[in-house]
Amino acid sequence: MFAYIVKRLASAIVTIFLVATLTFFLMHLIPGGPFLAEKAPSPQTLKALQEKYGLDKPVGIQYLNYMKRLISGDLGTSLKKRGQEVNDIIRTKFPVSARIGLLAVIVAVSIGIPMGSIAALNRGKWFDRFLMFISTLGIAIPGFVVSTVLLFFFGVRLRILPTVGLTTPLHYILPVTALSFYPTAYISRLMRSSMLDVLGQDYMRTARAKGLSQFMALFKHALRNAILPVVTYLGPLLAYILTGSFVVEKIFTIPGLGSEFVSSITDRDYPMIMGTTIFLAFLLITMNVIVDIAYKIIDPRIKLK
């Protein structure tokens, strides 16, 4: 177990290093610099600015300098928001995205698992069919469509929910619903099929035969086994939430890290691109490692290599 964790962490570090390197050279391939977009500065100021931020040096040297600072945990200062440290920007923006993302995960899991189980228990009945229909739609409708339709009906037509920013708890309803739509549908389907699988197993009959009540058999045996595929889905789910947050933050004008990442690319804000990419990659990869380890704890049959 310990050796496995060490091995996974080592490969995670290699991957993050690769992502950082790739991102660095890719973003320097994009023409235009961070200072060109706004009103064009005079050649002298441009030169001074580039010297100040070390952009006048060859890309290779810049890369080495960046990597040196990265190892000590310094992500540099933003070129667009002068004087702001990238570290600080991430520290203030990330909690906003994380709250929405976490709420969406909780909603998706706590609706998807019971829904899928109920559907499996009522296989072929109207609830099952209804849920399958809804979840098939849920998987096919892109996140930006869900978000904009929600925005239109609840924010513009009915005017019952706020659509801009995140100031009150009410503000969370629409973005979290939009973000959790797809994963809820996906988890219900996953849960239904794995539950059907488990219900047909011999140990379920044994559990009933030895006198366990239907309820206990479901909770003690069926649920614990059927939930495994959902646990493996948590890794991809996190990646989905991240992707979705780019869209949701744009539509509901939420000042989170996702919108920061997208705008940093269009702004050519090099340290911001690097900082957000490395941070998000780090987050995704560590979460995947954690999910793998959690999988092992839940299911002792799995042998980690």
Partner 1 sequence: MDIKKNPFNFQLDVSDFLPADESEKQSLVVMRESVDFWKDGFRRFKKNKLAMASLIVIIIIMIFAFVGPYFYPYSYEQQIRESENLGIMQYSEEELARIEAGEKVFPHILGTDSLGRDLMVRIMVGSRISLLVGIVASVIILVIGSIYGAIAGYFGGKVDMIMMRIVDIIYTVPDILIIILLSVTLKYPLKDLADNVKAFSWINTVGIGLISIFIVFSLLYWVGMARIVRSQVLTLKEQEYVVAAKALGASHSRIIRKHLLTNSIGTLIVTTTLQIPSSIFTESFLSFLGLGVSAPMPSLGSLASQAIGGIKSYPHRLMAPAVVISLIILSFNLLGDGLRDAFDPRLKD
- Contacting positions for partner 1 (CB under 8 A): 11-12, 14-15, 18-19, 22-23, 26-27, 29-31, 136-137, 139-145, 148-149, 151-152, 156, 193, 239, 242-243, 246-247, 250-251, 261-262, 265-266, 273, 277, 280-281, 284-285, 288
Cβ nearer to partner 1, comparing 117 with 217: 117
Structure tokens at 232: 């493996």
| C-alpha to C-alpha distance for 68 and 74, rounded to whole angstroms | 9
Nearer to partner 1, 26 or 64 (CB): 26
> Contact, 103 vs 177, CB < 8 A?
no
Q: Are 183 and 105 in contact (CB under 8 A)?
A: yes
Q: What are residue 85's DSSP bridge partners? A: 77
Judged by beta carbon, residue 212 or residue 283, the one nearer partner 1 is 283
Closest approach of partner 1 to the CB of residue 87, in Å: 19
State in angstroms the smallest separation of the CB of 136 from partner 1.
Answer: 7
Smallest gap, in angstroms, from Cβ of residue 273 to partner 1? 7
Give the shortest CB-107-to-partner 1 separation in angstroms.
21
149 vs 216, beta carbon nearer partner 1: 149
| Nearest-angstrom CA–CA distance, 276 and 96 | 14
> Given the complex with partner 1, which of 34 and 217 has the nearer CB atom?
34
C-beta of 208: minimal distance to partner 1 in Å?
A: 25
Percent of the chain that is helix, strand, coil (3-state, to 5): 75, 0, 25
Please tell me the distance from the alpha carbon of residue 60 to that of residue 28, in angstroms, as a whole number.
11
141 φ/ψ sector (left φ>0, alpha ψ -120 to 50, else beta): beta
> And the tokens for 225?
């086994």
